[in-house]
Amino acid sequence: MNSTTQYEVIIQPSINPLPDQEKVFSSLSKLNNVPSTRRSGKTSGIIYNNCIYGLQGQHIANVYPTHDDCKEIYLKIELALNPFIKQNGRDKSAFIMRLITGGSIRFFSYEAFARVRGKKFHKVYCDEFQECRMSEKEFFAALLPTLADFRGRAWFFGTPKKGTLIHSFSEKIDPEWSQFKMTAVNNPFINPEEITLQKKLLDPLVFAQEWEGEFVDFSGEAWLYDFKRDIHLVKGIGIDEYSPLMLCFDFNVDPCTCLVKQKITDKLENGGGINFIKEITNVGGTTQLCHKVRNYLDSLKFFKGAVWVTGDSSGSKNDTRSNSTDYEIIRKELSIPFARFVDTRKQNPNLSYSRDLVNTAFYNNIIYIDSENCPILARDCSIAKPKEGSDNLIKDRSLNKLDSFDAMRYGIHADFKSIKEVLRFAEQLI
């Protein structure tokens, strides 16, 4: 098999595009706004069109929220185009590939979007556009000159959230603009029964946004809009002697916080779910907090399970005072091997996605909080509010610190890497 045949095998599945893909990616408009959901065919369409137009000698730009977000898509395109990449034509640190056809594919981030200045592109694909925090004026000042030389075109894909650029772009009425929508409910490869199940299990607002591509406004509500005190706050949650405990840390000094969490895989009627059973705080450093945590763990004479750790990724950075990271201190003080540390080196979960995932867990009633032993967390769940036009939390170090709330989020994300995993766990408990 020669290299050309190998390449055709790689891209063959996308030759018959989904209905939404065909309309969106064949658009001749200069600016294309595409509110889109997960499982809509958006990502496969972006990858396929990068390959096709790159091989035609065009210059393509892809834009994601952060530099790290670019890596996964870069690697998929690199795999597909490997036989056609110039010798010495890759720059994996800058995510650039230059092809033997004369085309090129580059990646940029919204956080450093000014780097597109001085570049020329035929196509620009902006993904996760709901995360772009630039003003419209600032964004177009950088983007539009890159399209001038080749009369290029740009696409803006993102979750349909009000108060974002993708929302304001949806109101554009101009010959240079086209408006589209890409949704999971229109994906013929998803079983209709699965869509019906998702609609049953998800909060109606989340389903409308994440599956039907509708603009949903969560502002003005609680950040945790599916939290119900009469359901999710329980007095005196017991501890299973064999199921692992997880320590969920947040590293502010005033206070430094640890939540003790236990995941029970039994049926709901038998106590199954994610239980936050103890809140331990300390004004000071991580070492003193660990002493309190150790005393608590030692008091659980009956407990025979393992203890795991997760929390704020800032705990992986060196503290200049001790020349150790917070997690190194935790490992030493609590004698927990690094093999049982979960997601401590990963970037903290995006707040927009975190809000959807955490609310889905509460909507399905799989999260329970011991109101007597976690009083700060119980309060945080009631008072947490989003900033206007965003999913970021309103915090006030003198009042609404939300440290326990953040520790809870880290703990939930340690158990569930996707909303689908939340729903799968919820089904198991029924």
Total domain count, the chain: 2
Find out whether the peptide bond into 17 is cis, omega within 30 degrees of 0.
Answer: no
The closest alpha carbon to 21, from 49, 61, 1, 2, belongs to 49
The reply to whether 110 and 27 lie within a common domain is: yes
The reply to whether 394 and 281 lie within a common domain is: yes
Who contacts 123 (Cβ-Cβ below 8 Å, separation ≥6)?
49, 53, 58, 59, 60, 61, 152, 153, 154, 155
| 213 lies in some domain | no
The reply to whether 121 and 233 lie within a common domain is: no
Structural domain harbouring 114:
3-190
Report pLDDT for 322. 63
The reply to whether 137 and 252 lie within a common domain is: no
| 85 lies in some domain | yes
The reply to whether 280 and 412 lie within a common domain is: yes
pLDDT beyond 50 at 41 = yes
The reply to whether 251 and 182 lie within a common domain is: no
CATH number at residue 80: 3.40.50.300
Q: What is the mean pLDDT of the chain?
A: 90
Average pLDDT (364-393) is: 89
| 216 lies in some domain | no
Q: How many CA atoms lie within 13 A of 66 on its CB side?
A: 6
Question: What are the pLDDT digits (tens) for 156-212?
Answer: 999 998 888 999 999 898 899 999 999 999 999 899 999 998 888 888 888 888 899
Average pLDDT (320-343) is: 89
pLDDT beyond 70 at 5 = no
pTM > 0.75? no
The reply to whether 270 and 332 lie within a common domain is: yes
The reply to whether 44 and 135 lie within a common domain is: yes
Average pLDDT (84-108) is: 95
| 340 lies in some domain | yes
The reply to whether 322 and 174 lie within a common domain is: no
Higher pLDDT, 430 or 96: 96
What percent of the chain is modeled with pLDDT above 90? 67
| 209 lies in some domain | no
User: What is the distance between the terminal CA atoms of the chain, rounded to a whole angstrom?
Assistant: 51
pLDDT beyond 50 at 1 = no
Domain boundary among 137, 169, 190: 190
Q: What's the rounded Cα separation, in Å, for the pair 195 and 420?
A: 12
The reply to whether 255 and 313 lie within a common domain is: yes
CATH number at residue 386: 3.30.420.280
Average pLDDT (332-337) is: 96
Range of weakest confidence among 84-98, 134-148, 203-217, 239-253: 203-217
Neighbour tally for 235: CB within 10 Å: 8
Report pLDDT for 395. 81
The reply to whether 382 and 303 lie within a common domain is: yes
Q: Angle, to 10 degrees, between the axis of helix 419-429 and the axis of helix 192-201?
A: 80
| 205 lies in some domain | no
Average pLDDT (285-310) is: 95
Report pLDDT for 320. 46
| 25 lies in some domain | yes
The reply to whether 139 and 250 lie within a common domain is: no
Q: What's the rounded Cα separation, in Å, for the pair 160 and 284?
A: 42
Question: What are the pLDDT digits (tens) for 211-229?
Answer: 999 887 665 578 998 999 9
Q: What's the rounded Cα separation, in Å, for the pair 145 and 269?
A: 61
| 38 lies in some domain | yes
Q: What does the chain come to in residues?
A: 430
285 CB-contact burial (10 Å; exposed 0-12 / middle 13-18 / buried 19+)? middle
